[in-house]
Amino acid sequence: MPLSQVVILAVVQGLTEFLPISSTAHLYLTSWLLGWQAESLEFDISLHIGTLLAVLIYFLPDWIQIVGQGLGVEIGHEGELKNNRSLLWLLAVGSIPVGVAGLVFNKQAESTWRSPYVMGTMLVAIGILIWTAERSGRLVRDLGSLNLPDALTIGFSQALAIVPGTSRSGVTISSGLFRGLTREAAARFSFLLSTPAIAAAAGKALYDMHKESGLHGILNTNFLAGVGVSALTGCIVIAWFLHYLRRGSLMPFVYYRIIFGIIVLALAFIRRPA
């Protein structure tokens, strides 16, 4: 894969993984529309590791406080987290549904569901879901009030993200809004909840590559570029998005998803994917 293609797709990954617009759909459709070959397993691993680094680096102080409090250690001073000492275990419980869904539906997610028809449909459908959540959410609760029903609701919604075109952040933030969380709190919990799922996906990809050809030679220029560019772009997007949500609504992303989804469906009928 040419380095320029690696950089472009890594930027696409970093931009779309944390915005509610579906990274899988954008990566697949970028390659499809530009006539590029499907990404290699090695490149897929680099993007997973890059986005994992983005959430770990950006939320490192949060994770230190969450893990410390979960194990009974007084650490950190962030107010919302300090008011919810069970957050570590709520994140653990919320991560179970996507793990089960990944084991059961992984083959479909990587094959039959990875089509422009499915992606276009999910882009529109989840766009409507986000619009509904934006209009009906009370937006009054922070992470300090997050409880087990919240974690289970958001966790089960994250399981839907294995369907390409859904958007992990889009569906989990919507669930948070339905539960009365503020936009920023819903996004923050969404990103924290994504960390175990992304780590599991990266681990599985590494295991698959180890079985297929071994891990020797994985640290090449393309791999490092994929990791670095997606991680840097991801950190910037997380910071911008959380700042934006303190005052801005999700409606621009709703409009984008619906328009983009309609375009994808129209192109799918005009131009059959390879």
Record the tokens describing residue 36, joined without a space.
């590029």
Taking the alpha carbons at both ends of the chain, their separation in whole angstroms is 18
At residue 211, the pLDDT reads 75
165, 22 Cβ separation under 8 angstroms: yes
Name the band, by pLDDT with cuts 50, 70 and 90, for residue 43. confident
At residue 217, the pLDDT reads 58
Distant-in-sequence contacts of 100-103, Cβ < 8 A, 24+ apart: 100/159, 101/159, 101/160, 101/162, 102/162, 102/197, 102/200, 102/201, 102/204
At residue 111, the pLDDT reads 85
What pLDDT, in 10s, does the model give residues 63-80?
Answer: 999 999 999 998 888 889
Q: Please, what is the average pLDDT of the chain? A: 91
Q: Provide, rounded to the nearest whole percent, the portion of the chain with pLDDT above 90.
A: 69
Buried b or exposed e, range 196-222, using 16+ CB within 10 angstroms: bbbbbbbeebbeebeeeeeeeeeeeeb
**Phi then psi for 141, rounded to 5 degrees?**
-110, 145
Record the tokens describing residue 26, joined without a space.
């954008």
Nearest Cα to 221, choosing from 69, 102, 46, 97?
A: 46
At residue 214, the pLDDT reads 65
Q: Provide, rounded to the nearest whole percent, the portion of the chain with pLDDT above 70.
A: 95
At residue 39, the pLDDT reads 66
pLDDT at 147 over 80: yes
CA distances from 103 to 66, 97, 168, 200, 201 (A): 27, 10, 17, 11, 11
Name the band, by pLDDT with cuts 50, 70 and 90, for residue 4. confident
* Cβ-Cβ contacts under 8 Å for 135 (sequence gap 6 or more): none
Please compute the mean of the pLDDT values over residues 183-193 and round it to a whole number: 97
Q: Structural domain tally of the chain?
A: 1
pLDDT at 259 over 70: yes
At residue 268, the pLDDT reads 87
Q: Between 212 and 139, whose confidence is greater?
A: 139
Distance CA 18, CA 16 (A): 6
Nearest Cα to 203, choosing from 102, 104, 118?
A: 102
In degrees to the nearest 10, what's the CA dihedral of 178, 182, 186, 188?
180
At residue 272, the pLDDT reads 61
0.85 exceeded by pTM = yes
How many whole angstroms from its chain centre is CA 67?
21
| H-type alpha helices, the chain | 3-16, 23-34, 41-58, 60-70, 79-82, 87-110, 116-136, 148-159, 168-178, 183-212, 221-245, 251-270
Query: What is the domain extent for residue 196?
Result: 3-270
Q: How many CB atoms lie within 10 A of CB 248?
A: 12
What pLDDT, in 10s, does the model give residues 150-168?
Answer: 999 999 999 999 999 999 9
Q: How many CB atoms lie within 10 A of CB 144?
A: 15
Residues linked to residue 112 through DSSP beta bridges, in sequence order:
none
Please compute the mean of the pLDDT values over residues 187-213 and round it to a whole number: 86
Q: Between 5 and 44, whose confidence is greater?
A: 5
258, 127 Cβ separation under 8 angstroms: yes
Q: Name the residue type at position 133.
A: A
Q: Name the residue type at position 90.
A: L
What pLDDT, in 10s, does the model give residues 201-255?
Answer: 888 878 777 777 666 657 788 889 999 999 999 999 999 999 999 999 999 999 9
What pLDDT, in 10s, does the model give residues 79-103?
Answer: 899 999 999 999 999 999 999 999 8
Name the band, by pLDDT with cuts 50, 70 and 90, for residue 14. very high
Record the tokens describing residue 208, joined without a space.
């698959």
